[in-house]
């Protein structure tokens, strides 16, 4: 029995979970981390790879949605304009976005000697949350090499919790971080998958709901306000257009609401979705491309799945994280420890 099943003695949503209950249940998707836990330093990098191949030469159709725009992401403008992603998606802390961008650009140049010479440049995607409560964020401890290491670490069975970009994050007054979940959907008698991974760093403990139930009677967290951020990445092997992917992005907010979030003024809540099914060849020679998309009348099941995987991914990020003492002796308890104490 895994940690999710041990603590989730209730069912989140109605749909069947994937084999790993991770975003990597979507074929080709891998996730890697580089983590620093050292004194006052609790930070890192997480890399999400949309498929096994060369993402620049075989782009995935994608879209994004900004629920609340208190964030410093890079690359979303071109994602919105062209409807595709052509690099690994990099997650880190707020003040390391520039370094992470340089790192992923250099990685892509190393893997593609045509970029900037025989063809155009590269649109890298980097997203962030502020880990400054627990991490010495002013120290800017992330380097370009850490981005390389996170990408090289990418695998299907990846860690959740206080790892990678999630090392110093706080969620609903508990320890947050990296969490993931997946759901299985049947369409035309075939099985498809939709999965999510989150970087959770948002919410007030007073608002927190566990499977729809308020479990906190007296706040035990020093973090009072809903002024963090969450990055949500949704992947699927269902063939979807960019417009349909944006519609899926919007439904992630349902999962956040079920947890008790009201999407606070100071929170950067950003969703990115991509389909690994429709790949766009960078050097394609045909003028007209044949692309399959889902019947619009079948979108409801995807909306439900997007809400479910978002909600469970956030809970998973909290369940997998341990209690921690960070910068300036700031202490944050884990939800797991709270639930164990509550049940004893």
Just list the catalytic residues.
229, 267, 269
Is residue 200 within 8 A of residue 168, CB to CB? The reply is: no
Contacting residues for 81 by C-beta, under 8 A, at least 6 apart? none
Please give the Cα distance from 292 to 271 (Å, whole number): 23
Listed residue (66, 47, 80) closest to 197, CA to CA: 47
121 CB burial (10 A radius; 0-12, 13-18, 19+)? exposed
Is residue 337 within 8 A of residue 324, CB to CB? The reply is: no
Radius of gyration (Cα) for the chain, nearest Å? Answer: 19
Q: Are strands 89-93 and 125-129 parallel, antiparallel or unpaired?
A: parallel
Is residue 229 within 8 A of residue 70, CB to CB? The reply is: yes
Q: State the Cα angle at 129 between 123 and 134, rounded to 5°.
A: 145
How many residues are listed for the chain in this entry?
Answer: 344
Is residue 58 within 8 A of residue 230, CB to CB? The reply is: no
Please give the Cα distance from 24 to 40 (Å, whole number): 32
Please give the Cα distance from 175 to 292 (Å, whole number): 41
Spacing of C-alpha 213 from chain mean position: 24
Please give the Cα distance from 144 to 100 (Å, whole number): 6
Listed residue (157, 131, 109, 152) closest to 36, CA to CA: 131
The single-letter DSSP state of residue 155 is: B
């Amino acid at each position: 029995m895994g940690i999710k099943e041990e603590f989730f003695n209730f069912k989140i949503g109605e749909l069947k979970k994937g084999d790993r209950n991770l975003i990597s249940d979507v074929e080709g998707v891998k996730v890697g981390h580089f983590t620093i836990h050292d004194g006052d330093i609790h930070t890192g990098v997480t890399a999400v790879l949309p498929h096994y191949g060369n993402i620049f030469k075989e782009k995935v159709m994608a879209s994004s949605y900004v629920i609340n725009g208190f964030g410093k992401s890079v690359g979303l403008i071109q994602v919105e304009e062209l409807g595709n992603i052509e690099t690994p998606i990099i997650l880190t802390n707020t003040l390391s976005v520039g370094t992470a961008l340089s790192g992923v650009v250099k990685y892509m140049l190393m893997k593609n000697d045509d970029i900037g010479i025989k063809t155009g440049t590269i649109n890298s995607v980097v997203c962030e949350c502020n880990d400054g409560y627990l991490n010495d964020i002013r120290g800017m401890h992330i380097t370009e090499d850490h981005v390389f290491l996170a990408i090289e670490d990418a695998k299907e069975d990846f860690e959740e919790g206080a790892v990678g970009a999630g090392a110093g994050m706080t969620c609903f007054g508990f320890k947050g971080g990296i969490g993931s979940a997946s759901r299985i959907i049947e369409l035309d008698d075939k099985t498809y998958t939709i999965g999510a991974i989150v970087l959770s760093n948002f919410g007030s403990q007073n608002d927190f709901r566990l499977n729809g139930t308020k479990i906190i009677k007296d706040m035990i967290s020093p973090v009072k306000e809903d002024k963090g951020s969450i990055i949500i990445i949704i992947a699927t092997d269902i063939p979807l257009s960019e417009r349909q992917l944006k519609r899926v992005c919007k439904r992630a907010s349902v999962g956040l609401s079920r947890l008790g979030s009201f999407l606070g003024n100071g929170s950067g809540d950003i969703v990115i979705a991509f389909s690994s099914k429709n790949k766009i060849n960078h050097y394609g020679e045909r003028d007209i491309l044949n692309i399959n998309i889902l019947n619009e009348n079948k979108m409801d099941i995807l909306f439900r799945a997007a809400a479910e995987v978002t909600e469970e991914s956030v809970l998973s990020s909290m369940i997998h994280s341990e209690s921690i003492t960070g910068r300036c002796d700031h202490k944050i308890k884990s939800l797991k420890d709270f639930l164990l104490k509550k049940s004893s």
